[in-house]
Amino acid sequence: MSDTVYRTYMTDELGPLPFCPGCGHERLLKELNRALIQLQPDPSSVVIVSDIGCIGLADRYFITNAFHGLHGRSLTYATGLKLARPELTVIVLMGDGGCGIGGTHLLNAARRNVDITLIIANNFNYGMTGGQHSVTTPSEGVTSTTPSGNIETAMDLCAITIGAGAGWAYRGLGYDNDLAERMVEAINHAGFAMLDIWELCTAYYMPRNDLNKRALYEMIESSGMKVGLLASSDRPSFEVAYRGRAPTGSAPKELISIDPDLPHSLNSQTGIVIAGSAGQKIRSTATVFALAAILSGLKATQKDDYPITIMTGHSLAEINLSPNAIQYTAIESPDYFLVISEDGLKKTTPWIRGLPATCQLIVDSELSIPATQANVQKLPFASAAREIGRLSIGIIALASLLAKTGVFSIEALQQAISKYQSGQVAATNIQAVTKGEQLYQAG
Cα separation, 41 vs 296, whole angstroms: 64
Site string for ligand SF4, 74-113 (x = CB under 6 A): ----------------------------------------
For 131: left if phi > 0, alpha if psi spans -120 to 50, otherwise beta; the answer is left
Q: Which does 203 bind (CB under 5 to 8 A by kind): ligand SF4, other proteins, Mg ion, none?
A: ligand SF4
Cα separation, 441 vs 257, whole angstroms: 31
Site string for Mg ion, 104-133 (x = CB under 5 A): -------------------x----------
202 lines the binding site for ligand SF4 (CB under 6 A): yes
Q: Which of 56, 102, 127, 165 binds ligand SF4 (CB under 6 A)?
A: 127
Q: Which of 29, 36, 79, 95 binds ligand TPP (CB under 6 A)?
A: 95
Interacting stretch for ligand SF4, rule CB under 6 A, among 199-207, 235-243, 301-309, 338-346?
199-207
Cα separation, 283 vs 297, whole angstroms: 21
Helices 393-405/410-420 angle, 10° precision: 150
201 lines the binding site for ligand SF4 (CB under 6 A): yes
Checking 371-376 for CB contacts under 8 A at 24+ apart, the result is: 374/337
Tell me whether residue 47 or residue 57 sits nearer to ligand SF4 (CB atom). Answer: 57
Cα separation, 27 vs 199, whole angstroms: 9
205 lines the binding site for ligand TPP (CB under 6 A): no
Cα separation, 27 vs 29, whole angstroms: 5
CB of 267 to other proteins, least distance (A): 16
Helix (H) or strand (E) segment spanning residue 276: strand 270-277
Helices 393-405/282-295 angle, 10° precision: 30
Cα separation, 8 vs 30, whole angstroms: 10
CB of 149 to other proteins, least distance (A): 32
The closest of 301, 305, 440, 298 to 380, measured between CA atoms, is: 440
Q: Which of 27, 105, 189, 264 binds other proteins (CB under 8 A)?
A: 105
Q: Which does 129 bind (CB under 5 to 8 A by kind): other proteins, ligand TPP, ligand SF4, none?
A: ligand TPP
Helix (H, G, I), strand (E, B) or coil at 86: coil
Q: How many CB atoms lie within 10 A of CB 351?
A: 16
CB of 135 to ligand SF4, least distance (A): 16
Tell me whether residue 23 or residue 75 sits nearer to other proteins (CB atom). Answer: 75
Q: Which of 23, 93, 155, 291 binds ligand SF4 (CB under 6 A)?
A: 23
Site string for other proteins, 287-306 (x = CB under 8 A): x--xx--x---xxxxxxxxx
Helices 423-442/393-405 angle, 10° precision: 50
The residue ranges that bind ligand TPP (CB under 6 A) are 51-55, 71, 95-98, 121, 123, 126-129, 134, 201
